[in-house]
């Protein structure tokens, strides 16, 4: 059975794609068939391209990214503007096909964990529909403690397992970084998979060495 995880963020712009790609590269370095999936992308295919580049398994693009929405908006709004509805069952069928190809699969969510995907479902519903443990990317910046703890609570409220979290310093000038990470370690009942210091030109291949694969 392949290992698969839903990768969520405490907010948008916290480095989910960077961390997802780094985990895929770390898995590939261990000899695993690693594959990334971005079910919903809005405004750009850049995140999808990064996951494809980090994967060492080929898969149909329309399964890796079932929904590419034109505008960089909340997915439910972007989808409405495109005249479509994000269908969790379609995503689940694509996920099933990808899982057969990989030993290690990362499904990257859009925005934060609870971002609406349609008028009735959000990212948490997608993670629950796929039945996946969650990796949480915490963007280290002012306000991250509240965002991280609320998101961890939301993950558990869906009956999902928090497999681990990654501390990614997105604000180069953030004060008391170590103290913030220590605070989260004391309050999040899940392993810290890695701390990624701020980097002017981050590269998934380098960051892979800073991360542990979740179990």
Instruction: Tell me which residue of 107, 130, 154 sits closest to 10, measured CA to CA.
Output: 154
How many other CB atoms are there within 10 angstroms of residue 86's CB atom?
A: 25
How many other CB atoms are there within 10 angstroms of residue 46's CB atom?
A: 9
How many other CB atoms are there within 10 angstroms of residue 174's CB atom?
A: 15
Active site residue 16: no
Q: What burial class does residue 136 get, using C-beta atoms within 10 Å of its C-beta: 0-12 exposed, 13-18 middle, 19+ buried?
A: buried
Q: Output the CA torsion sign for 142, 143, 145, 151.
A: negative
Instruction: Tell me which residue of 29, 30, 49 sits closest to 38, measured CA to CA.
Output: 49
| DSSP code, position 158 | T
List the catalytic residue out of 16, 25, 38, 76. 38
Instruction: Tell me which residue of 37, 16, 33, 14 sits closest to 25, measured CA to CA.
Output: 33
Residues identified as active-site: 38
């Amino acid at each position: 059975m392949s290992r698969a995880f839903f990768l969520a963020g405490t907010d948008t712009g916290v480095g989910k794609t960077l961390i997802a790609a780094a985990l895929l590269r770390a898995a590939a370095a261990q000899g695993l068939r690693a594959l990334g999936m971005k079910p919903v992308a809005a405004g750009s295919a850049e995140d999808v391209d990064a996951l494809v580049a980090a994967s060492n398994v080929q898969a149909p693009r329309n399964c890796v990214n079932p929904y590419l929405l034109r505008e960089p908006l909340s997915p439910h709004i972007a989808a409405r503007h495109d005249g479509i509805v994000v269908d969790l069952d379609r995503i689940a069928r694509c996920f099933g096909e990808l899982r057969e190809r990989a030993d290690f699969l990362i499904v990257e969510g859009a925005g934060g964990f609870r971002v609406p995907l349609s008028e009735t479902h959000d990212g948490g519903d997608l993670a629950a529909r796929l039945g996946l443990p969650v990796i949480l990317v915490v963007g280290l910046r002012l306000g991250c403690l509240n965002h991280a703890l609320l998101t961890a609570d939301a993950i558990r409220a869906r009956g999902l397992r928090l497999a681990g979290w990654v501390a990614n310093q997105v604000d180069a000038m953030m004060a008391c970084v170590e103290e913030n990470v220590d605070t989260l370690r004391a309050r999040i009942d899940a392993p810290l998979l890695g701390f990624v210091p701020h980097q002017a030109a981050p590269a998934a291949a380098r960051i892979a060495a800073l991360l542990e694969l979740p179990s």
